[in-house]
Amino acid sequence: MATTIKLKNGSGAPTTLAKSEPAFDLTNNRLYTASNTSNTIVEVGTNPSSLSIAGTAVTSTAAELNLLDGSSAGTVVNSKGVVYSGAGQVKGTTLALGSWVIEEVSNHLIFKYNGNSVFKVMTTGAIVAEGDITAFGTA
């Protein structure tokens, strides 16, 4: 916890700050503090709804930022934003497409329509159908 605050009589962000030593710009009424992990200057403006980090304005709302809190790249976290991996992939166990749902259960893919199982694809490549199979026709 900081025990002192530097008062800066001039305009603009300080060039460096110690992690526990915030500064206040008396000219522009802006508070600056250093990041906990680096010497990056974090600016909290006169309007508490604005924030800039290293000179870049943060335009996301708190609600938007909270959608990413707890997310990790390439995985699905319930009720959070989806972040693709570096390879453009997302791992999940269920995919819903309108009335269709595809689930992974015990390494098999289960295809359901309106909640009813229709068929599954086994890890061996075998397909198991719930009812009759039409082996001809047009798509």
CA dist 23 and 83 (Å) reads: 35
For residue 37, what are its two tokens? 């992990």
- Looking at residue 115, what is its pLDDT? 93
The answer to whether the predicted template modeling score (pTM) of the entire model surpasses 0.85 is no
For residue 15, what are its two tokens? 């060039």
pLDDT in tens, 55-107: 777 888 878 888 888 888 887 788 888 888 888 888 888 888 999 999 998 88
pLDDT in tens, 18-67: 666 677 766 666 676 666 666 566 666 565 556 777 777 788 887 888 88
Q: Are strands 94-97 and 56-58 parallel, antiparallel or unpaired?
A: unpaired
Whether 119 contacts 128, CB under 8 Å: yes
